[in-house]
Structure 1
């Protein structure tokens, strides 16, 4: 017989076997509009954008590069050729296979997207020529915008309420649409029906990032300067005034600060510097500047999020909400939160800024095109969870009550001090009779998943095991499971277990439950079979808290 591989080789074998090809699913379930889709449809989604005045429209792309839309279809913004709403996904044949790189939307709404090849397509509301096709007729189907963009590769798009802006690969900015406040940067307030390059002081600058507020525009150039133009009634241009700006103007207050990204809310602005610092300015009626008050600011003001470096900022022109993500992965939000005002950055339980807008913003839209690339491996946690009780990769079996549980020695040694001290490399099968099969299986599964799945009665046995193996975290999980599953019928049994395993917090919880349901509990079989000493102590303690008073 061949010698068993040492643990290091076993661990490599396990990892190779577990990192099997899989496609990561885009988590869109937090946006209400997706409740119209089946689970099978959701699993196929690789890109998605939720938009509209109430988050009632959505465009998504499947793993086969097919493009679907559904929702209210205001102003023909779904691109289906009509203005009929639909609760069934409809395919946009003209965009299928195009490989969408970025997408933005306005308030009409209108939609602007760029493909990976740099082509621009627009459709939807067009009363202000925001589709860039030279007309004011609503666009009921996606049409390519080519005027002045021929031989240009667009790499980023942004929409205000009724104007549009794109950034090309050579750092040029083009705008079109509504211009009542100078938001297209042309120097006048006449609407602009076709794309024209924004020049003025951007003429010889290379732009690397763009963003739009409702009626203003922003551009970050390669040296970190920020240029702004358009509506400024709330100080959202950061120029220290409230006058509109018809052409791009550099924010002098950011002199010496190198900005990497800009994000615009409805009437407020955020920028992220190369040092991971946030500055904010503009409207602040919901605390969206994160300064601790609700006073508007016309100059850039620092936002203190965390001692950690900020790596991402988020805002969108349809909301008064701000979000940020730190280098360690913590996500903060501030501003309008489901109608409430949050005036300082608040740490959320989310893993991404997208979820902030799904759950807190009004409306529940996406601030960017959600996207996930096909992934040919699982995370380490997912891999380990998948490999529990897998006979194909396991190198050890536990036999409990005549049943086998397949595990991996190296993982058991890493996760549990008890196994580190007792397992040998030549072990193949270990008999276990001290605990029942459900209990021991739950324990081994816990080592793979950090969670337990047991009814409260079986959790008593697992609590015994956790006490014996000195697994304190597992003890706490067992107690939590027991608390959540307690009822009149099992209350005495759970109380007995808590006393036996010296779980004082659990004992007090079970005792209080018994007192609160005393009449029913005293009529159960468990109470009738209660240990004499435990019964004596229970009656004594119940008397002290007045349980038997009339």
Structure 2
């Protein structure tokens, strides 16, 4: 990000943290509700979900796993213990430190959240028992759902308008809540107040993905089959009919097609196959099936997005919008887009499907919990940094103060003129007695990272080394580190070093610091032990700048 990275001194660590923070920051500015947050608050966000009937509620987690909420608080859906709206972020103490894995929300709204530990928490609207606590009382604070989920690790959650569904790590599906159309899959239309496992056709199947429409439910099993149940008035179950389905039923029309993911809109369904193709069915009054017309489809229909393979599909049960991302990174959208009906997949300028919902969906909500993507790809520089002092790959050891530092000859020769001239192919161990272990280790690490990590007092020794080895850039970094770490106690020692190594800019800086803090500096041990000639020169120079005038 910079031509010359800052040294790892006192202030540089804070700068590096800021740069890393900026790199990891979520781009949430496209959702209007975040205009209520300060830039400082937004910089800390690592996960976020905008939800509610108008995109007026948000939950977000920060880099240190604190959880905050903001917005209208309809039905107590912010979990703050009351129904008061707030334009200031409020902290949810009960969820702080929990590490959120996934989150979904209903129309009430109610919220279902799973932690990385696999625990489930719910709160908000509960008129239909969609919180799974056995009551129909609204939940004003997050409460753990444990009935029938004890010893189960939940890895995915999904909400319909007023029903909830979770997937466990062993491939089981549990549902609860509103069931007027059979959407909990129990075989009846009675509401289900607590989580119960969905069995029937799923009894011996391992489920790998789940999704909910407004009043229907979907599950993908490990062999790529899709099972559906619930409301089917628009053909959103893909069964070729419009009759409701009270228990899971396999979509026969997808025979021989291996589905990887399913996504549900308000009343339409998208699936993504292992070959990167999309099939869609259900309601189509806004063109959300992407078929070029507005006719509902009760059978799976191929969606032509691009010649490129599709790697992600997106839909949200509160909207009539569809989106997809291809392998080359192109993002398409169709359906209801800012009030317009887009009947064919339309190429956008966005880099992610999340932006489609921020800018074009009604309401402007998130179709999933938006998180910072971990990037496990290492650049060349990052790979080199990782290999410093790695005995498994090194072919040379420096022995300093009885301790080894493992390095690579070729890198040392490439990076340093001094090593180019002294290293031989036969060298395996080189003893170093001219410099201390911290200093020499910092120097070798600098050759791998372009940065130095030393307290200012040790940076003096590194400055000596840089002078000896004619490493001018390293010399500058040492001086910056010393400047950033100067204080009254070490000011004289740093001034002495600057004079010794003929670092004139640093000498002037240290001198000015001593003059500005003269009373305290003259009372330190360093001043009492100051070299006679240096003291004489210091007093003479201080007198010339008027340091001793009343």
TM-score band (shorter)? 0.5 to 0.7
- 8 Å CA contact retained: 1:22, 1:375: no
Bigger radius of gyration among the two: 2
Separation (CA, whole Å) in 2 of partners of 1:287 and 1:504: 72
TM-score by length of 2: 0.67
- 8 Å CA contact retained: 2:5, 2:451: no
- 8 Å CA contact retained: 2:263, 2:316: yes
Separation (CA, whole Å) in 1 of partners of 2:477 and 2:53: 44
Separation (CA, whole Å) in 2 of partners of 1:544 and 1:16: 40
- 8 Å CA contact retained: 1:270, 1:281: yes
- 8 Å CA contact retained: 1:214, 1:317: yes
- 8 Å CA contact retained: 2:10, 2:485: no
Separation (CA, whole Å) in 2 of partners of 1:291 and 1:456: 67
TM-score by length of 1: 0.67
Question: CA offset at residue 3 of structure 1?
Answer: 21
**CA 1:285/1:447 → structure 2, altered by over 3 Å: closer, same or farther?**
farther
1:498 aligned partner: 498
SS at match of 1:166: strand
Separation (CA, whole Å) in 2 of partners of 1:294 and 1:494: 77
Question: CA offset at residue 6 of structure 1?
Answer: 23
- Deviations 1:335-370, CA, capped at 9 Å, x for gaps: 000100000000000000000000000000000000
- Deviations 1:404-445, CA, capped at 9 Å, x for gaps: 999999999999999999999999999999999999999999
List alignment gaps of at least 5 residues for structure 2.
none
**CA 1:189/1:4 → structure 2, altered by over 3 Å: closer, same or farther?**
closer
- 8 Å CA contact retained: 1:19, 1:376: no
- 8 Å CA contact retained: 1:396, 1:406: yes
- Deviations 1:485-506, CA, capped at 9 Å, x for gaps: 9999999999999999999999
Question: CA offset at residue 7 of structure 1?
Answer: 23
Question: CA offset at residue 10 of structure 1?
Answer: 27
- 8 Å CA contact retained: 2:155, 2:167: yes
**CA 1:442/1:347 → structure 2, altered by over 3 Å: closer, same or farther?**
farther
Separation (CA, whole Å) in 2 of partners of 1:70 and 1:224: 39
Question: CA offset at residue 474 of structure 1?
Answer: 35
Question: CA offset at residue 235 of structure 1?
Answer: 0.1
SS at match of 2:147: coil
Question: CA offset at residue 330 of structure 1?
Answer: 0.2
Separation (CA, whole Å) in 2 of partners of 1:431 and 1:301: 72
- How many residue pairs align between the two structures? 550
SS at match of 1:94: coil
- Deviations 1:161-203, CA, capped at 9 Å, x for gaps: 0000000000000000000000000000000000000000100
- Deviations 1:188-243, CA, capped at 9 Å, x for gaps: 00000000000001000000000000000000000000000000000000000000
SS at match of 2:383: helix
Separation (CA, whole Å) in 2 of partners of 1:173 and 1:130: 15
Question: CA offset at residue 24 of structure 1?
Answer: 1.2
**CA 1:295/1:472 → structure 2, altered by over 3 Å: closer, same or farther?**
farther
Question: CA offset at residue 92 of structure 1?
Answer: 0.1
**CA 1:448/1:523 → structure 2, altered by over 3 Å: closer, same or farther?**
same
SS at match of 1:323: strand
SS at match of 1:493: helix
Question: CA offset at residue 530 of structure 1?
Answer: 70
- Deviations 1:226-284, CA, capped at 9 Å, x for gaps: 00000000000000000000000000000000000000000000000000000000000
SS at match of 1:322: strand
**CA 1:151/1:429 → structure 2, altered by over 3 Å: closer, same or farther?**
closer
**CA 1:452/1:99 → structure 2, altered by over 3 Å: closer, same or farther?**
closer
**CA 1:252/1:513 → structure 2, altered by over 3 Å: closer, same or farther?**
farther
Question: CA offset at residue 41 of structure 1?
Answer: 0.3
SS at match of 1:280: strand
Separation (CA, whole Å) in 2 of partners of 1:293 and 1:467: 75
- State which drifts further: 370-379 or 124-133: 370-379
SS at match of 1:93: coil
Separation (CA, whole Å) in 1 of partners of 2:340 and 2:519: 44
Question: CA offset at residue 385 of structure 1?
Answer: 20
**CA 1:86/1:203 → structure 2, altered by over 3 Å: closer, same or farther?**
same
**CA 1:222/1:524 → structure 2, altered by over 3 Å: closer, same or farther?**
closer
Question: CA offset at residue 297 of structure 1?
Answer: 0.1
List alignment gaps of at least 5 residues for structure 1.
none
**CA 1:99/1:530 → structure 2, altered by over 3 Å: closer, same or farther?**
closer
Could you list the structure 1 runs, at least 4 aligned residues long, displaced by more than 3 angstroms after superposition: 1-23, 373-550
